[in-house]
Each structure stands twice: as C-alpha cells, then as structure tokens.
Amino acid sequence: MAVHAHPDDESSKGAATLAKYSDEGIGVMVVSCTGGERGDVLNPKFAAAVESGAVDMPALRQREMADAASILGISHVWLGFHDSGYHEGEPDTWQLPPDSFGALDPDVEIEALVRVVRRFRPQVMTTYDENGGYPHPDHIRCHVISMAAFDAAADPARYPDAGEPWQVSKIYYNGGFSRTRLTAINEAVKSATGTGPFDEWIARIEESGRPDRSDRITTRVPVGEYLERRDAALRAHATQIDPDAHWFAVPREIEAKVWGTDDYELAESRIPVQLPEDDLFAGLRPSASVGAGSADAGSRSERESA
C-alpha cells in the first residue's frame, strides 16, 4: 500500500516499483489522501481552459488518476480529504484552508486510513518522511497519519469500529529523486548529449538548502525495465505534467544504466531484517530467509543509534 498526498504523487514517486510488484502478481493499492483540488495546473496547454472555467478540475483529476492506475496495474482508493494547496515559507506561517487535509484534526484522518489498512491488509506500506519529502502541508500530514495508522491498525483498542485489527510488517519512506541521484543522471546525460536536463532543478535544490537524504537509503528496488511505464502513468496526469518538460528529456536507457532503482528508507519493521535490501518484501516472501546478523529494525532512530 502506497499512501500519497495527491493524485500524480504515485506516478512521480515509486511508480516503477508499483508496476513491478503488480506484474509479479502482488496486490498493490495506492491511497490518495486528497483529490488535488487546489493543485496548480502545471501543463501550459491546459492553462487557458482552466482560467475560462471550462475544466472541472476535481473531475479531471479523478479521470487522470484512474488512467494512471490502469497503466500501473494497481487498485486505488480516495481517502476523501481536500487538498490544502501549496504554501511557501515556514510551516508556522501557512494559512491553510479550514476544510483542508493539513488543517483538520489528524485523528479523523488516521481513522480513515486505518479503515483502509484493515480492509486491504497490506504487508508493506510506503509513505513520506517527516519532512514530507519536501515541505508541502499535505505531504507532511500524509507522513503523520501513515505512521500513526501503521501502529493503530494492529491495536484492537484503537478505532474498534474501523475493522478487524491488522499488523503491517514494514513501512518505508520514499527515497525520491535525491540530489545525489539527480546529479548522477544529469552528468551522464550531459556527457552523452552535451546538455544537463536537471541543471536548474539541482540549482534550486542547492539554493533551498534542502538536505540530501541519500545516506538514509536502505532499500534499492531494481526497476530499470519499468521506467517507460512510470513515464506513461505520469503523462496520464496531463494537467500536472508538461510533456515537453525536462523530466522527459532523459534517455531512459541512460537512466536505467546510471540509476535503475527506486530507493526507499526502511522506517520501521515488525519482522527481522537484513540491510541493505533490494526488495520491499525482503523477509516476507515464502522462500525468503533472514541470515545471521539480522535484527529487528525497530525504529529508524534506534537503527541509527545502534
């Protein structure tokens, strides 16, 4: 189960992994916490239609999500909350709409996610780190409720009306496109073509001072053969993705050779693990065994202090 803040997040963060596991016959579900109603239109081809009121944005985002889910071969659930919109500056300066995901009582949202977890009964969950991957209020709240639901779903005393308790075995943070990953791909493309498609993106990351979390990666899932499926799912979110953007300027054979994995950080595990991993289901597959030297992962902070 991959828990995301908005429709399109599932296609830009770990989509190749979703397609890979779906093709292996593993049940895969994406949970979209919000409908992306307040998201900006990032494809200039749609800007005029949106400004004229000719586009029903919530309905269009739903159709885009359905198309992406079909491409990836996954099931999908809307958690049912409203997008908070993007906000600049420090979190304590944000003025969130009162009906939005980031402004509501998180207990209501946790119960809603627990209900989905107990129904789907996943072995593995993925979500964002404590900073949301980047500081968007919905991404940060997604982290909060995902970690809380990971614990609460197994506790029969919590949300007793939300279904039979279920213990998820592992939960991961999406590694995303770290500065290290972007730089490696960018330099390889620049060497081959003379142009660095991510030059501006890398410069913005460096200017923001956002930390590079690549040293926290524990799990690298090989997905080189699924990059085209990822791109197709991303293009399905046509209001959000400009097909002429730098994202699609990278020859996929170069990306697959330089960095053909989706990367994750194991946040917590209820089973013994042996790190590093190349599979989110390591230790869970029937034929898998955990070798000498393995240990209960515990919390991330416990692992880091060990």
DSSP 46-59: HHHHHHTT---HHH
Question: SS3 breakdown of the chain: % helix, strand, coil, rounded to 5?
Answer: 40, 15, 40
CB atoms within 10 A of CB 35: 22
Q: Is the pLDDT of residue 12 over 80?
A: yes
pLDDT for 287: 58
Residue 143 annotated as part of some ligand binding site: no
DSSP-derived secondary structure letter, 97: -
Question: Mind giving me the DSSP string for 134-155?
Answer: S--HHHHHHHHHHHHHHHHTT-
DSSP-derived secondary structure letter, 215: G
- Structure tokens of 232? 């197709």
Confidence grade of residue 53 (pLDDT, cut at 50, 70, 90): low
Residue 6 annotated as part of some ligand binding site: yes
CB atoms within 10 A of CB 282: 21
pLDDT for 292: 33
Long-range contacts of 245-252 (CB under 8 A, 24+ apart): 246/197, 246/198, 246/200, 246/201, 247/197, 249/189, 249/195, 249/197, 250/185, 250/189, 250/197, 250/198, 251/189, 251/192, 251/193, 252/227, 252/228
- Over residues 223-273, the pLDDT tens digits come to 999 999 999 999 999 888 888 777 788 999 999 999 999 999 999 999 999
Nearest one of 33, 38, 34, 1 to 17, comparing CA atoms: 1
What is the C-alpha radius of gyration for the chain, rounded to an integer number of angstroms?
Answer: 19
- Note the pTM of the prediction, 2 decimals: 0.89
- Structure tokens of 249? 């300027």
Q: Is the pLDDT of residue 65 over 80?
A: yes
Percent over 90 (pLDDT), the chain: 68
Return the H-helix or E-strand segment holding 170. strand 170-174
Q: CA-to-CA distance for 290 and 154, rounded, in angstroms?
A: 24
- Structure tokens of 173? 């943070």
Residue 237 annotated as part of some ligand binding site: no
Q: Is the pLDDT of residue 189 over 90?
A: yes
Q: CB of 172 within 8 A of CB of 126?
A: yes
Q: Is the pLDDT of residue 302 over 60?
A: no
- Over residues 101-142, the pLDDT tens digits come to 999 999 999 999 999 999 999 999 999 999 888 778 999 999
pLDDT for 298: 43
Q: Which domains does the chain have, with CATH numbers?
A: 1-176+214-248+260-306 (3.40.50.10320)
- Structure tokens of 51? 């400004």
Determine the Cα angle at 210 with ends 207 and 212, to 5°.
115
Return the H-helix or E-strand segment holding 98. none
Q: Is the pLDDT of residue 149 over 50?
A: yes
* Greatest extent of the chain over all pairs of C-alpha atoms, in Å: 64
